[in-house]
A and B are shown apart, each in its own frame.
Chain A
């Protein structure tokens, strides 16, 4: 009848095809999910399995397969080691694991948004102040003691809260000093944090923005926490006066350093070693005062339906064998383990001294300090 018939037929074809696509997509996602579950149940990565702790002391106490809620996997929110932890844990305990990966802030945001109906069982990330606050807001399972707790190093023990709401699994420098060896020789390189305010590095220093980058907050909060708010502000004002470049995140800092935009940087430890190992002309300095630490902690959601698996996961993370495997094979493998008898990376400085602000204090003042930085930046 009216108008161009061929066109309308083709339209119908288009519509039908679209409908088909739609149904396939719907099925696809379901199948995908099923496959994923199947894959996670069977997943055995040979390389990880061979070094995974196949027989921990607890293996005999733990059931080989999850007894309760068997169909449901343990959901872990984490910001690193996602590539190796899943097969390692499943192989060692028989529990199934599902991971949600993101940077610390993304996960914290997700957890906060899910507060009414949490989807996570365990959170494992290097934002101790944030998790400490979650504990104080009664979101975490407290008063449970993992069996390996006495095997923590003295350094790690100081981070275990009285409530036992979370446990440290390692710590890494939120910032070390790193410089471009093409621009600066070893003699004139900065040795201490104070040196970064030296006029000879005017306009040549870079750091990540504590208002944006997750690891930058543990870095700056130590100055405020250890020396007091005023001294902290004074120190960073002296850096700002000296023309410090503030980049949104650590990778931006790294790029500015290798690109020659800056000569010296306060850079997160793993980023720094990655640069050095990839052959960039950089050298790492562990400052005499110590490098402010970002502590990675694991915590269990208060109302988790998978408490057994969650506890098994935390104990698994505190196991020296697990930590050794993370150091040997993980991507963010430059850190100080929290368990005794674990060897850090060989090229990680032997005199690596870590310092940290008290978690409770850092958590309470987080908003205030970050706002101060954000407003400084636009002045």
Chain B
């Protein structure tokens, strides 16, 4: 037992060091700017700490803080309920078109929020598709107000809650429910008193992910802001960083409040989950299999299709229409010109796409390794800094990519690093590191959700038999959480491909990435080209993910519960 503890500690320190380097240090660098503005340029000057209080004095900052809290809370509540509910339905019943739902969820997770938002704007703005084609002129005022923004945000972020809950439903212990049923409980009571409480960690993780992704999201509020003014904290951070005179100290002060929001949310979660144990997966666990509903299949199908039309059809459909429209206003007929342009010309798109795919693949692999170790330490070790690891592993979700990006420059552009060959700024490696940092929260949450159900006894038992760490991990833990590992890697891969914020500040000379190319097209008014590039790039990513999914997703029939019963 002692050996296992020390092993956990060693892994714990390793993970802590990696997180410190990837996330905490760059973030600290940006916040240190508030206190010592010149410290990274070789000057020691005291900063103006009263800047931290300016958030309550400056109208724009105060509005940003309030808006972020409102948007974050509203979206979290609704998206968690909706995402969780859909996940439960999907895990319980199989029906035609259910696979489409899975695909839609992934699409939403990997599609950058600025693309989704752009789609919603094209659909719902005063002259948008809804008004022109369907005559829905009322939609504009419905969407472009705080409640409408929460709705749009919910429709984009619910997949995070869905995925966490759905992964948690992969294994189940029927005996608990059966015991309750034998004691006379109705199915509803069983769900309420047995199943739902066991799902609590998954719901909480999902809610946390939604909350952080929402308050940290820059793209969606920024795109919507083109129509409706709704400054949020990331937006104001962006303004401070990307408006001359460049104010790193202001960005640091505002980022501080973002981190504070996350800390508060985590405190709430910890309070809700204290004292509970969730490692309920025992030898009697079975992989849950969705059943065909006895009747009313068509209700599921229709409901599913309606959902897909709204969450995918509107944002991506609008982008598609834009990509085949001759002019930005959608007038002038249809054309394939924008798609042709992708493959003619100087080939920036193609090289950008390749660069992005390479970086995303590397980030997914590195992120998976780091994320697995983090989840292992969080779930099984007694490492005393576990809580710190938990917090840091989530921080990068909330901190806007541009803030981390600036922090990366401060840290990885110190001239002395050149002498030891570690001047990573200006090389593709810095993009990989930053992408790993960005992917860690999602990877970790997905794996932790799955590991939470695998009791430590399974591992201890193997250790008693003399199985070393690697064997315990590869023969017990990994097979049990394989589905989650794949989900995590794919999520990280998909999200990294389109990470605009980090790429736009860190990309090396002559090393264009896909989001930078797309963003440039947007800025140059080439909406059609941008939409075509987005859909082509996105389509390729989805294809790669689908192939990986087919190759590596655990086959449901091969793994039988009897296998466990006879061996354990």
Contact = CB atoms under 8 A, between A and B. Distances in A.
A40 B563 CA distance: 60
Given A371-B58, A378-B63, 5 more contacts: A2-B476, A99-B509, A105-B242, A116-B42, A127-B244
A259 B482 contact: no
Interface of A: 1-4, 6-8, 10-12, 14, 18-19, 21-22, 25-26, 28-29, 32-33, 36, 40, 73, 75, 83, 98-106, 108-110, 112-117, 119, 127, 129-130, 133, 211-212, 214, 217, 246-249, 251-252, 254-256, 258-261, 271, 274-275, 278-280, 331, 366-367, 370-371, 374-375, 377-379
B335 to A, nearest CB: 13
B50 interface: no
Interface in B474-520: 474-476, 478-479, 482, 504-505, 507, 509-511, 516, 520
Contact of B229 (A98, A102, A249, A378): A378
Contacts of A109: 241-242, 246, 406, 505
Contact of B329 (A14, A32, A116, A258): A258
A234 to B, nearest CB: 20
B329 A280 contact: yes
B222 A248 contact: yes
B361 to A, nearest CB: 5
A278 B117 CA distance: 25
A26 B361 CA distance: 11
B63 A370 contact: no
Interface of B: 40-42, 58-60, 63, 125-127, 222, 225-226, 229, 231, 239, 241-248, 327-329, 332, 346, 351, 354-355, 358-359, 361-362, 365-366, 368, 406, 409-410, 413-415, 425-429, 432, 462, 474-476, 478-479, 482, 504-505, 507, 509-511, 516, 520, 522-525, 527, 552, 554, 558-559, 563-564, 567-568
27 contacts: A1-B475, A3-B563, A4-B559, A7-B479, A7-B554, A8-B478, A10-B552, A14-B552, A18-B365, A22-B361, A28-B354, A83-B346, A98-B510, A109-B406, A112-B246, A116-B42, A116-B413, A116-B415, A119-B426, A119-B509, A130-B245, A248-B226, A260-B127, A261-B125, A275-B525, A378-B229, A379-B59
A22 B413 contact: no
A278 B327 contact: yes
A115 B406 CA distance: 12
Contacts of B482: 7, 11
Contacts of B346: 83
A18 B366 CA distance: 9
Given A7-B482, A25-B362, A375 B244 contact: no
Contacts of B475: 1-3, 8
A261 B128 CA distance: 10
Contacts of A251: 522-525
Nearest to B63: A378
Given A25-B361, A106-B505, A108-B244, A11 B478 contact: yes
A21 B246 contact: no
A143 B359 CA distance: 43
Contacts of B329: 255, 258-259, 280
Contacts of A252: 226
Q: Which of B245, B361, B413, B504 has the most CB of A within 10 A?
A: B245
Contacts of A83: 346
Contact of B328 (A6, A40, A106, A258): A258
Nearest to A129: B244
Given A40-B510, A259-B329, A280-B329, A366 B60 contact: no
Contact of A3 (B226, B328, B479): B479
A282 to B, nearest CB: 11
Contact of A4 (B60, B229, B332, B558): B558
B498 to A, nearest CB: 17
Given A130-B244, A248-B226, A22 B366 contact: yes
Interface of B: prevailing SS: helix
Given A100-B509, A274-B525, A22 B229 contact: no
Contacts of A115: 40-41
B126 A259 contact: yes
B563 A4 contact: yes
A187 to B, nearest CB: 25
Contacts of B358: 25, 28-29
Nearest to B366: A22
B229 A377 contact: yes
Nearest to B461: A2
Given A7-B482, A374-B60, A114 B413 contact: yes
Given A99-B510, A119-B426, A375 B59 contact: yes
A14 to B, nearest CB: 6
Nearest to A251: B525
B414 A21 contact: no
Given A22-B362, A252-B226, A279 B567 contact: no
Contacts of A19: 365
B278 to A, nearest CB: 22
Contacts of A32: 351, 354-355, 428, 511
Nearest to A23: B362
A130 B413 CA distance: 22
B517 to A, nearest CB: 10
A26 B362 contact: yes
Contacts of B58: 371, 375
Given A14-B552, A22-B366, A113-B409, A374 B239 contact: yes
Contacts of B520: 101
B563 A378 contact: no
B125 A271 contact: no
B486 to A, nearest CB: 8
B568 A2 contact: yes
Nearest to B423: A117
Contacts of B359: 25
Contact of A8 (B126, B474, B527): B474
A250 B266 CA distance: 39
Contacts of B509: 73, 75, 98-100, 119
Contacts of A112: 246, 248
Nearest to B402: A109
Top 5 nearest A-B pairs (CB, nearest first) are A259-B127, A98-B509, A105-B242, A113-B409, A112-B246
